[in-house]
């Protein structure tokens, strides 16, 4: 069994405490037709739960397995392309 370190440490790992998406009450839904590809949502997301996809990685999508639904992306979006929708 590996030994404990001197102080508690953690390494960058995807989902070290499991899927956190189920904490969510509201989910961010991106209206791709309004998106201007400014990437503010990606920059501001505190959980790294916005993924950059597509050509030149300029399109965005939400990683719902880890998004906690804090709504910061919707708040920061300059063109109101993200709506917070109550989870069913």
Partner 1 sequence: MVLSEVLTGNYAVAYAAKMARVQVIAAYPITPQTTIVEKLAQFVESGELNAKYIRVESEHSAMAACIGAAATGARAFTATASHGLLYMSEMVWWAGMGRYPIVMAVVTRAIGPPWSIWTEHNDVLAHRDSGWIIFFAEDNQEVFDLTVQAFRIAENEKVLQPVMVTLDAFILSHTAAPVLMPDQNQVDEFLPPPGSRKLPYRLDPNNPITHGNLTYPDYFMELRYEIMRAMENAKQVIIDTGRKYGEMTGRYYDGLIEKYKCSNAKAIIIAMGSSAGDAKEAADLLRDEGYEVGVIKMRTIRPFPFEELRETCRNAKIIGVVDRNYSYGFGGIIHGEVKSALNGLKITVQNFIAGLGGRDITVNDFINMGKKLIEMADKGLGEQPPIWINLKKEVIP
Question: Using an 8 Å Cβ cutoff, are 84 and 26 in contact?
Answer: yes
The residue behind tokens 């899927």 is: 19
Residue span binding partner 1 (CB under 8 A) among the ranges 7-15, 18-26, 28-36, 51-59? 7-15
Residue span binding partner 1 (CB under 8 A) among the ranges 4-12, 22-30, 36-44, 46-54? 4-12
Task: Find the binder of partner 1 among 2, 6, 33, 86 (CB under 8 A).
Answer: 6
List interacting residues with partner 1 (CB under 8 A): 4-12, 16-17
């Amino acid at each position: 069994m590996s030994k404990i370190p001197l102080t508690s440490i953690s390494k960058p790992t995807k989902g070290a405490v499991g899927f956190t998406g189920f904490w969510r009450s509201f989910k961010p839904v991106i209206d791709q037709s309004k998106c201007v590809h400014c990437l503010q949502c990606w920059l501001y997301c505190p959980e790294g739960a916005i993924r950059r996809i597509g050509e030149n990685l300029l399109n965005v999508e939400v990683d719902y397995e880890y998004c906690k639904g804090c709504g910061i992306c919707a708040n920061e979006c300059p063109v109101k392309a993200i709506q917070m929708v109550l989870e069913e």
